[in-house]
Homo-oligomer: A and B are copies of this chain.
Amino acid sequence: MNAELITIGDEILIGQVVDTNSAYLATELNKLGISVIQITSVADKRESIIKAFDDAALRAELIISTGGLGPTSDDITKPALADYFGSKLVTVPAVIEQIESLLASRGVVVNERNKKQAELPDNCEILRNTAGTAQGMWFKKEGRVFISLPGVPYEMKAIFREEIEPRLRQRFTLPTIRHTTVLTHGVPESEMATVINDWENSLPGNIKLAYLPSPGLLRLRLTGKTTGDAEALTIAMDAEVVKLKSIIGKHIFGYNDDKLEVIIGKLLKENNLSLSLAESCTGGMISLLITSVPGSSAYYKGGIVAYSNDVKTTDLSVSPYTILMNGAVSQAVVEQMAEGIRNRYQSEFAIAVSGIAGPTGGTPEKPVGTTWIAVASKKRIISRVHNFGEERGRNMQKAAIAALFMLREEIMDCL
């Protein structure tokens, strides 16, 4: 089964909003064995919306649109849909009640605009929105299914999970599509392609490989498809991963949706170890990654964002003399920071980062992007210097990822 996604909204076309809804829907549909063959973003204009629906219906059996269902007057999707599917808008009392009780729980009184949200086409299945006031709609036309969803991401997701996924599973016989993603670190894309060339060329016809590089890591994604034996596909794909592992095993740090911060969290938790952080140029990014994992309070003691030299000396016990002689971005300082926070918070492991995030503050010897990272354990302190380039946001991100990889290595070394 093929699907197309349509995003409705001027805010996408002027670049003010990034379309994350399509990525979510594509991921979920793929898991169900439904291939997304095109994603289209169009303006909040009746003719654009209708043209997009018509075009998509030529290629796909399932068309899902997001956006254009808000209570304010820039939204014209609902009347356009009613016309397109030959229905008229009627007020649905059950939806009014639902909106009233939702808003009451937030202490908000229903106004006329909210009530308009209960006007819905009379020939659609209503897909109940428990998280907001704009309902989803499921239409059928000429053998195609059309679904219209609100654009607010968490409302759209709730409707997909609660209303759409069960219906798709029930109503359609779906082929099997499987993805296995191998997460690697330390080998650039073009070098990886050379190393695994023979293996790649020997893949069976129904298994495809894609390279997905991102800062600090490279994901290798295998996609297998079958209308026949799902079990056989699983076995074939697992066998390919085993072969790949024998070629690049030491560069693999995880699979599929594994996140580095989750992998590290598990390592720490399972071994009853703890972590503390002393961040300068990363400004709290490593702490945020660590705490984005539910349950991280079991192993994360806390961190200090030491943005001033005062904080480095008073709270991290860095010697003022060391700063004076070497500068704050130096091996000596970053090692003292790591040891300082480890002692202060009594953790088994500690990371410290000190760098020049930019755009100013660089010198010929220490250009913008120069970053020292240290990891301290009971056993020792290791430190490395990197240059992550000139872009502030990007080099903060690269520093955070490099620091987490260093930590992972050191934990595994200590086990």
Q: Which residues of A contact B (CB under 8 A)?
A: 7, 10-20, 22-30, 35-44, 48, 55, 70-74, 108, 111-114, 152, 154, 179, 181, 188-194, 200, 208-213, 219, 221, 223, 277, 279, 283-288, 290-292, 294-297, 300-308, 310-311, 315, 344-345, 357-360, 391-394, 396
A188-B303 Cα distance, complex, nearest whole Å: 35
The answer to whether B27 touches A23 (Cβ under 8 A) is no
The answer to whether B305 touches A303 (Cβ under 8 A) is yes
| Closest B residue to A43 using CB positions | B37
A50-B71 Cα distance, complex, nearest whole Å: 39
The answer to whether A14 touches B36 (Cβ under 8 A) is yes
Partner of A307, one of B210, B286, B300: B300
* A221: chain B residues within 8 A (beta carbon): 11, 14, 16
How many of these chains are in the complex? Answer: 2
Given known contacts A14-B221, A294-B359, what 17 new A-B pairs fall within 8 Å (CB)? A11-B212, A12-B23, A15-B22, A15-B30, A16-B212, A18-B20, A37-B48, A277-B305, A283-B291, A291-B305, A291-B307, A291-B396, A295-B360, A296-B307, A302-B306, A302-B307, A308-B345
Given contacts A14-B30, A15-B25, contact A305 B292 (CB under 8 A): no
* A192: chain B residues within 8 A (beta carbon): 72
* A304: chain B residues within 8 A (beta carbon): 302-305, 315
The answer to whether B294 touches A360 (Cβ under 8 A) is yes
Partner of A211, one of B48, B72, B345: B72
The answer to whether A14 touches B305 (Cβ under 8 A) is no
The answer to whether A285 touches B283 (Cβ under 8 A) is no
The answer to whether B30 touches A23 (Cβ under 8 A) is no
| Closest B residue to A275 using CB positions | B307
The 3 closest A-B pairs by CB, nearest first: A283-B291, A284-B287, A284-B284
The answer to whether A189 touches B72 (Cβ under 8 A) is yes
* A227 CB to nearest B CB, Å: 18
Given contacts A18-B19, A288-B285, A307-B301, contact A71 B190 (CB under 8 A): yes
* A158 CB to nearest B CB, Å: 10
| Closest B residue to A188 using CB positions | B108
A277-B308 Cα distance, complex, nearest whole Å: 13
* A18: chain B residues within 8 A (beta carbon): 18-20, 23
The answer to whether B113 touches A194 (Cβ under 8 A) is yes
The answer to whether A26 touches B13 (Cβ under 8 A) is yes
A18-B358 Cα distance, complex, nearest whole Å: 26
